[in-house]
Amino acid sequence: MRSFLIGIFIFPLLFSQDQEVDLYIGDIDRFAGIMEIRLNNYGPDDICGFQFILDGLEITAIEGISYSQPVSFTDDGQILGFSMMCGDIPVGDYPLMEVSFADVPNPLVCMSEPVFADESGISVLVNLGPCHDFCSVPGDMNGDGMVNVLDIVGFVTLLIDPPIGGNAYFICDQDVNQDGSVDILDIVVIVSIILAE
C-alpha cells in the first residue's frame, strides 16, 4: 500500500504537464530515398533527447538538420538521439532530421512509441502526425502527394531502368489505369490527370 501511495505522488512528476511536441513526416523524395522528419516543439523548454520507431522503411542513414548530435538507428527502425548540452532541439517548428532509405517494403510508413525528454529528463507529451501512404494518390511516383511532370520522369525512368534489388515503387502507383500491367498506357493516364488539373 505504501509503494502505491508513493507512486501516486511521484508518477505525475515524471511527465511534463505543460510541454508538448508534434512529430511528423515532412517532405519525401522517393527517387532520392530521403524522408524529412519534422518537429514542432511548443516549449517552454528545449528537448534534450528522443526516441521513436519509424516503420515501413529500410533506413540506411540519418542526418540531423537542426539536430547536430549523432543519431543512432537500428534495423527495426528504432531512432535514438540525445544531447549532452541540451541546446540542439529548441522551441519552434522545423525539420529535425533527414532519413535516407534504400527500400520501402510497405507502402504505409508510420512513427510509433515516441519518448521525448526535456532538460530535466522529464517526458513531454508527443503528438504523432499521420502515417504516410505511398499509395494514396495513383500515379504519384515520387510520393509527394501530387501527380505532376516529376512523376512522368520517374515513371519513364522506372520503365527504362528498373531498380535492381529493392523496389521503392508499388503496383498501386505504377498501374495507374489498373489493367494489370505497367506500361506506356499508364504514362498516358498520368498525363491526362495532369492536364485535367
Task: Please enumerate, as own/partner, the contacts of 115-120 that have beta carbons within 8 Å and a separation of 24 or more.
Answer: 115/50, 115/51, 115/52, 116/21, 116/23, 116/47, 116/49, 116/50, 117/47, 117/48, 117/49, 117/50, 118/16, 118/19, 118/45, 118/46, 118/47, 118/48, 119/45, 119/46, 119/48, 119/86, 120/16, 120/45
Shared domain for 36 and 126, answered yes or no, is yes
pLDDT tens string 163-178:
655 455 555 667 788 8
CATH (domain of 109)? 2.60.40.680
Range of the domain at 183: 149-196
Max CA separation in the chain (angstroms) = 73
Shared domain for 164 and 188, answered yes or no, is yes
C-alpha span between 153 and 37 (Å, rounded): 25
Residue 31 has pLDDT above 80, yes or no: no
* pLDDT for the residue 17: 56
Shared domain for 45 and 129, answered yes or no, is yes
Shared domain for 103 and 181, answered yes or no, is no
Query: Looking at 103, 133, 163, which one is the last position of a domain?
Result: 133
Shared domain for 161 and 112, answered yes or no, is no
Q: Is 19 part of a structural domain of the chain?
A: yes
* pLDDT for the residue 2: 45
Confirm if 46 and 89 have CB atoms less than 8 A apart: yes
Number of domains observed in the structure of the chain:
2
Q: Phi and psi dihedrals of 119, rounded to 5?
A: -65, -15
* pLDDT for the residue 97: 93
Residue 147 has pLDDT above 80, yes or no: yes
Shared domain for 171 and 97, answered yes or no, is no
Query: Looking at 87, 104, 133, which one is the last position of a domain?
Result: 133
Residue 142 has pLDDT above 50, yes or no: yes
Shared domain for 160 and 105, answered yes or no, is no
pLDDT mean across residues, the chain: 82
Shared domain for 95 and 37, answered yes or no, is yes
Mean of pLDDT values over 69-75? 87
Shared domain for 161 and 101, answered yes or no, is no
CA dihedral for 124, 94, 89, 51, sign (positive or negative):
positive
Mean of pLDDT values over 12-23? 71
Please, is 53 exposed, middle or buried when counting C-beta atoms within 10 Å of its C-beta (0-12, 13-18, 19+)? middle
C-alpha span between 176 and 155 (Å, rounded): 11
- 508510420: which residue's cell? 110
Residue 10's pLDDT band (cuts 50, 70, 90): very low
